[in-house]
Amino acid sequence: MIIELPDSLQRGMVAFKSIRSDWLEADETLTRVENRDGVIRYKLGDPLEVMIAKVDMERSLLDFCVAGELKQKSNRKRRVEPDQRSGRPKTHSKHRRRRKKR
């Protein structure tokens, strides 16, 4: 959905995947957003309270999310897997070590 802020006339986007409360789809005319049951959630021109989720200064783009529905990171602990050779817990890092070719 494209959002325009009335005070500054800035435009941005709310991605459907950022709305966690329901599965949403645009209708054929692309003027309404409906849930699975066919109930209209948002129409073109409806006021909507949003928060800024991401700012891309290089491309001058704004991403918004519906107020109160910002995705939060999970507090789950990572699963500890043993190393196949030593049996010690594997360390998880962003960069994997590569094996040397013999």
CB neighbour burial string for 5-36, b if at least 16 within 10 angstroms, e if fewer: eeeeeeebebeeebbeeeeeeeeeeeeebbee
* pLDDT, greater one: 97 or 67: 67
Full-model pTM: 0.54
- Residue 94 binned pLDDT confidence (cut-offs 50, 70, 90): low
Instruction: Give the pLDDT confidence score for residue 34 in this predicted structure.
Output: 86
Beta strand pairing call for 11-14 and 50-56 = unpaired
Domain boundaries, the chain: 2-66
- Residue 97 binned pLDDT confidence (cut-offs 50, 70, 90): low
CA 30, 14, 50, 18 torsion-angle sign: positive
What number is the average pLDDT over the span 20-43?
Answer: 82
pLDDT in tens, 37-91: 888 788 888 888 888 888 888 888 888 888 876 555 556 666 677 777 777 777 6
